Chains A and B, each alone.
Chain A
């Protein structure tokens, strides 16, 4: 319904000014989507709190900042853990890791997925067969059990915790590229038959340029939507793995491994402030990203327009 109003207003403006670019139109539409905008605000807040917040905290993780295992109070808003560390500070620092894992995993998945998808769609033939067969294989292996085996292997080869984060990011990204590759390939298959590609052919452009400058940019709307949603997926997956103790491992805090405090029966029953705040953070972040992704889909994907 809202879209109908939009087309008339832009049509009226058209004779006078330069026609609005698809990006401007999409952005306008996104801005009117109240749910998506509130999601965006939540995400920005979350980033600000996690990345700036720790500087404002009077405590540090290196020293005891108060009595251990105390509930929320005026000096420790979310209480302290058994080592007397401030939970609020830990939640913020864990948030840095969890958000970063989500972002990097997304970038890995987008880089692999869009490149392989574009190559498969552009060259077709045996390149397509090999890439898409491999994507099919990856898609039919259930992600969680495979990640669990990989996580176990990581623990067995004793990767140091600080390097482990990067491996986890990469693994999560690597698990989620096939879906995107499929979408990009489908788009490129139709795009490559269009007139502008004939023009590119006539101009004698090299394949690399055709793929990365002319084909992939045309698939960006769909990539953006999938990428946004995959950040949420990666954050959820990271939290599950870390909760099981095979994702990001202590001393590096992450929301998932903070919740594993709940595996201790006493902490679970008597000290909910240890594990509820990180859980709420995961939930809020993921829901915010999901609504943004959905809003972006409405704004960017013409096929979904109703």
Chain B
């Protein structure tokens, strides 16, 4: 087990180096850097700034400088915010985290119940409707459904504010503040839950269908165990096992923010900040954020592999 963990970690290192090279290569392709594109500053000042940010050096040297700083936890300065990238990311990440955590709990709960029920009633009317809904949810363009939700629930029905996290200018504290937050949050949370619940439901349904066909379920039924016990104790536990893998992969989603949804709902999360960085060509922020996401993805994969091995001894044998 320990050996496997070490081997996996050693595998991650060349991958993350590769990721950094690819990202830096793309970054270096951009011709108009943030210094040249500013027309208001003099050539002398430009040269000075270039030296400060290391833009006067050849690409490979810049890469090593950047890589060294990144390892030391310094992702550079955000030109737009005039603050270190890590500070900016840390400030906005938690706004994304609140939403992502709630969405995670909601979508998993709904998906497990609906998926299992749909599987034990396979080919029933309910199952048919769920299968169709799952397809519909999985095919929704996130920004379009977000826009539709705002148009209908916020603009037409006025059930929610049009966007943002708190009412502008409000200095409410305590419960009033929480209530303000909830009012702003319920619509993006619902949209994101709808977007992620489809795939999950499908996953749990398939997983459950596989388990119900196993011999041990037949044995349990044959020896006269109550049907509900068969489903919830014998089947569900085994069906949830592969889901552990999925849970590990959800780690990046918790911190990465939902770029498009945050943009549409004007939610001050890290995804929206990243898109704003795109507008102002704040490449250090864009790079730092993408690098951070890639690292999270690798960590997520690692965690899910390890969890699965801990949970399922059969995998360990192979």
**Which residue numbers of A lie inside 8 Å of B, CB to CB?**
1, 35, 133-134, 136-138, 140-142, 144-146, 148-153, 156-157, 232, 236, 239-240, 243-244, 246, 259, 262, 268-269, 272, 275-276, 279, 282-283, 286-287, 290-291, 294, 306
17 A-B pairs with C-beta separation under 8 A:
A35-B132, A140-B15, A140-B16, A140-B301, A141-B23, A142-B297, A145-B289, A149-B26, A149-B290, A157-B31, A236-B139, A275-B147, A286-B141, A287-B135, A287-B139, A290-B139, A294-B135
When chains A and B are docked, how far (Å) is the Cα of A137 from the Cα of B132? 35
B-chain residues with CB within 8 Å of residue A259 when the two chains form the complex = 143-144, 147
Given that A142-B290, A149-B27 are known contacts, is A239 also in contact with B141, CB under 8 Å in the complex?
yes
- Interface residue? B138 (CB, 8 A): yes
Q: Least Cβ distance of B254 to chain A in Å?
A: 14
Q: A243 is contacted by which of B140, B143, B213 (Cβ under 8 Å)?
A: B143
Contact flags B19-36 to A (C-beta < 8 A → 1, else 0): 100110011011110000
Q: Give Cα distance in the complex from A262 to B149, angstroms.
A: 13
Q: Is B187 an interface residue (CB 8 A)?
A: no
> What 15 additional pairs, Cβ within 8 angstroms, besides A140-B15, A279-B148, A283-B140?
A35-B132, A137-B18, A141-B290, A142-B256, A142-B297, A144-B259, A145-B289, A146-B23, A146-B290, A152-B278, A152-B286, A156-B281, A244-B275, A287-B135, A306-B209
Whether the pair A141, B27 counts as a contact (CB closer than 8 A) is no
Chain A residues near B256 (CB, 8 Å)?
142
A-B contact count (CB 8 A): 125
Quick check: A282 and B141 within 8 Å, CB to CB? yes
B residues with a Cβ closer than 8 A to A are 14-16, 18-19, 22-23, 26-27, 29-32, 123, 131-132, 135-136, 138-144, 147-148, 151, 155, 209, 213, 252, 256, 259-260, 263, 274-275, 278, 281, 283, 286-287, 289-290, 293-294, 297-298, 301
Contacts of A269 in B (CB 8 A): 151, 155
Q: Which residues of A contact B275 (CB under 8 A)?
A: 148, 244
Q: Nearest CB to that of A137 among chain B residues? A: B18
Bound state CA distance, A236 and B260, in angstroms?
12
Asked whether, in the complex, the Cβ of A145 is within 8 Å of the Cβ of B259, the reply is yes
Q: In the complex, A1 Cα to B213 Cα: how many Å? A: 14
Chain A binding surface, main DSSP class: helix
**Closest CB-CB distance, B121 to chain A, in whole Å?**
14
Which residue from B132, B138, B290 sits with its C-beta under 8 Å from A145?
B290
Among B143, B281, B293, residue most surrounded by chain A Cβ atoms (within 10 Å) = B143
Between A134, A141, A156, A290, the greatest number of chain B beta carbons within 10 A of the residue's beta carbon is seen for A141
Known: A156-B281, A259-B147, A268-B151. A137 touches B141 (CB 8 A): no
B residues in contact with A306, CB < 8 Å: 209, 213
Q: Which residue of chain B has the shortest Cβ distance to A152 in the bound complex?
A: B278
Distance in angstroms from A267 CB to nearest chain B CB is 11
Q: Would A137 and B293 be within 8 Å (CB), given that A282-B144, A283-B141 are in contact?
A: no
Decide yes or no: A153 and B26 within 8 Å by CB, A1-B123, A141-B294, A290-B139 being known contacts. Answer: yes
With contact pairs A141-B290, A294-B135, A306-B209 given, residues A283 and B144 touching in the complex (Cβ less than 8 Å): yes
Contact (A276, B15) CB under 8 Å given A140-B297, A152-B281, A290-B135: no
Closest to A150 in B: B26
Bound-complex Cα distance A1 to B123 (A): 10
- One of A140, A240, A268 near B147 (C-beta < 8 A): A268
Are B297 and A262 closer than 8 Å at their CB atoms? no
In the complex, what distance in Å separates the CA atom of A148 from the CA atom of B136? 26
How many angstroms between the C-alpha atoms of A136 and B209 in the bound complex?
31
B298 touches which of A140, A240, A246 (Cβ 8 Å): A140
Q: Which residues of B contact A287 (CB under 8 A)?
A: 135-136, 139
Instruction: Give the complex CA separation of A272 and B142 in angstroms.
Output: 17
Q: From B135, B138, B286, B294, give the contact of A149 (CB < 8 A).
A: B286
Docked complex Cα distance between A157 and B263 (Å): 25
Q: If A141-B23, A146-B26, A152-B278 touch, does A232 touch B147 (CB 8 Å cutoff)?
A: no
The residue on B at minimum CB distance from A259 is: B144
**Smallest CB separation, B294 vs chain A (Å):** 5
Q: Which residues of chain A come closer than 8 Å to B32, judged between CB atoms?
A: 156
Question: Which chain A residue has the least Cβ–Cβ distance from B290?
Answer: A145
Residues of B within 8 A of A142 (CB): 252, 256, 290, 293-294, 297
Measured between alpha carbons, how far is A142 from B253 in the docked complex, in Å? 11
Interface pair B147/A262, CB less than 8 Å apart: yes
Q: Decide yes or no: A240 and B22 within 8 Å by CB, A142-B256, A279-B148 being known contacts.
A: no
Residues of B contacting A153 with CB < 8 Å? 26, 29-30
Complex Cα distance, B19 from A138, in Å, reads 7
User: For the complex, what is the distance from the CA of A115 to the CA of B29, rounded to whole Å?
Assistant: 27
Cβ of A240 and Cβ of B143 under 8 Å apart?
yes
B residues within 8 A CB of A294?
135
